[in-house]
Chain A
Amino acid sequence: MKFKHASSLLLVCCATLASGCTSLGVKPWQRDVLAREEMQLDADPLDAAIDDHMYFSKEASSGGRSFAGGGCGCN
């Protein structure tokens, strides 16, 4: 019983999210702020690469934002 409710609740959430997603967003002429450097998802790629390398060699996790392979022998 619980499971049935949970799955239909999930379905409703997904449907709402999906329909919500189509109304989310901006018009093409409203992209001024999004064009700023700091709003780019790949802003400062070298900083991210150097940090990723440091964390890969000191921790057990890697990736998430991109592929997880370390590509080096430091782990």
Chain B
Amino acid sequence: MQLKPKALQPNATNARRRLIAASCALLGAAGARSQQANVAPADSGLLEDWSVDSALAYYHEDGRILAIEPVVNLAKVFADGQSLNFNGTFDSLSGSSPNGALTSHTAQTFASPSGKAAHAYTTAPGQLPVDPHYQDTRIAVGANWTVPFTRVDQVSVGAKLSDEHDFLSATVSASIAHDFNEKNTTLSFGIDNEYDSLHPIGGAPVAGSDYALAEKQTGGKTKDGVGVLLGVTQVMTRNWLSEFNVSVDRFKGYLNDPYKITSIIDSAGNTTGYEYESRPDQRTRKSAYWENRVAWNSPLSTALSLRYMSDDWGIRSDTALLHVRWSLSNRDRYIEPTFRWYRQTAASFYTPFIPSTAEPTTGYESSDSRLGAFRALTYGVKYAQKLPGVGGRAESEFSIRAEYYQQTFAERVPVPAGLQGLDLYPGLKAILVQIGWRF
């Protein structure tokens, strides 16, 4: 048998270079997909290749709300790149919630929204009026489905539903994303619609009406919001990833808080009455968001995000959030301090109280502190540790984090002499403690 070797040998160096390029393309593509390595085997069990992320959060405001919130998220990536995501949240809240009235030198008595005599409450002189019977439980579920339809495009649709005693919310969303520039740049566009239905306890009060008259309307209220988001993600260098988003949303309908009232104060500082708040029935918000993630060296990486928001209620806000992660011992565990700085201006119709000498207006007014001008700081730290996996999985992660949140009111509206010496704008202090388990 005559064996002839190939007559022409391939050009050697050229072949090697092409081989290197070919294997880089093969493995580079594989590397970029490395996060999808949990491809489902053909005969997988029920929960085997779903990844589960769960957390239990405990939130407590100083003298006010207490909330316990378990959250769970299930995700699965399929062999063809599709992914499915289900999440569920349960919220249990109780405690005291400010009702919008101003602190006074005399005791104040309020009826509870339900109208039950037993739930009426009295606020001592010099204390911020809060409804001490605040209680609610909320359950929310959501799902999201992502389908890649070309090598560089994917579309995602999602829905969520949230139900609590007096409020039902349904949201649907859709987005598409396009990769180009060797997957270094991703452009995404998303749109969402939220429909909310409220059945305030005791009925929705007529906006701006006198509290003592207790004019309530039967039937529920609704509001609807549409949001649009445009974003670009760019790989800057091997160690630096940047994301920039702009978004607009508009809500229409019943935007009042049906339980909030505003105190009417006379020139001597006495509270002469209260009014239910009244907000516009439309709100448009625009925001710009920029996030940068940088891996400085093997143990140290940071994520810094900045957000600017402005809306047509006159509120503008700036937010800066920094996470610093320090990975320890072979990246088995890490510690991550965080810091957040936030500032907002007041809504144009925000007023902490209504002077009784003022002309009665049909304008909007609210003393909800969330529409006021304040600064807030959050200090937090998180610790996470990798553990052996459960089921067939390689590893799991346990984490614990704590945050301290403090709001400080910035502006002071001039107050009558009778109210000097009272802490009218006490701000807010809260802690959040959370444990998490991911497998």
B98 → A minimal CB distance (Å) = 11
Task: Out of A38, A63, A73, name the residue touching B167 (CB < 8 Å).
Answer: A73
**Quick one: given A27-B24, A49-B71, are A71 and B235 in contact (CB under 8 Å)?**
no
Inter-chain contact A36/B344, CB cutoff 8 Å: no
Inter-chain contact A35/B305, CB cutoff 8 Å: no
Inter-chain contact B234/A25, CB cutoff 8 Å: yes
Q: A26 — which chain B residues lie within 8 A by C-beta? A: 184, 235, 237-238
Query: How many B residues, CB 8 Å from partner?
Result: 94
Task: Out of A22, A31, A66, A72, name the residue touching B31 (CB < 8 Å).
Answer: A31
Q: A43 — which chain B residues lie within 8 A by C-beta? A: 303
Inter-chain contact A39/B71, CB cutoff 8 Å: no
- Bound-state CA distance A28–B71 (Å) is 36
- Interface secondary structure of B, over-half rule: strand
Inter-chain contact B227/A67, CB cutoff 8 Å: yes
- Bound-state CA distance A72–B287 (Å) is 20
Q: B123 in the interface, Cβ–Cβ < 8 Å? A: no
Query: How many A residues, CB 8 Å from partner?
Result: 46
Task: Out of B54, B87, B243, B325, name the residue touching A38 (CB < 8 Å).
Answer: B325
Inter-chain contact B325/A41, CB cutoff 8 Å: no
Inter-chain contact A69/B436, CB cutoff 8 Å: no
Q: B29 — which chain A residues lie within 8 A by C-beta? A: 28
Q: B76 — which chain A residues lie within 8 A by C-beta? A: none
Inter-chain contact A28/B229, CB cutoff 8 Å: no
Inter-chain contact B192/A65, CB cutoff 8 Å: no
B240 → A minimal CB distance (Å) = 9
**Quick one: given A21-B234, A59-B342, are A65 and B291 in contact (CB under 8 Å)?**
yes
Beta-carbon contacts under 8 Å, B169-197 to A:
169, 171, 173, 181-185, 190, 192, 194, 196
Q: A68 in the interface, Cβ–Cβ < 8 Å? A: yes
**Quick one: given A47-B382, A69-B225, A71-B169, are A33 and B295 in contact (CB under 8 Å)?**
yes
Inter-chain contact A61/B227, CB cutoff 8 Å: no
Q: A71 — which chain B residues lie within 8 A by C-beta? A: 140, 160, 162, 169, 171, 194
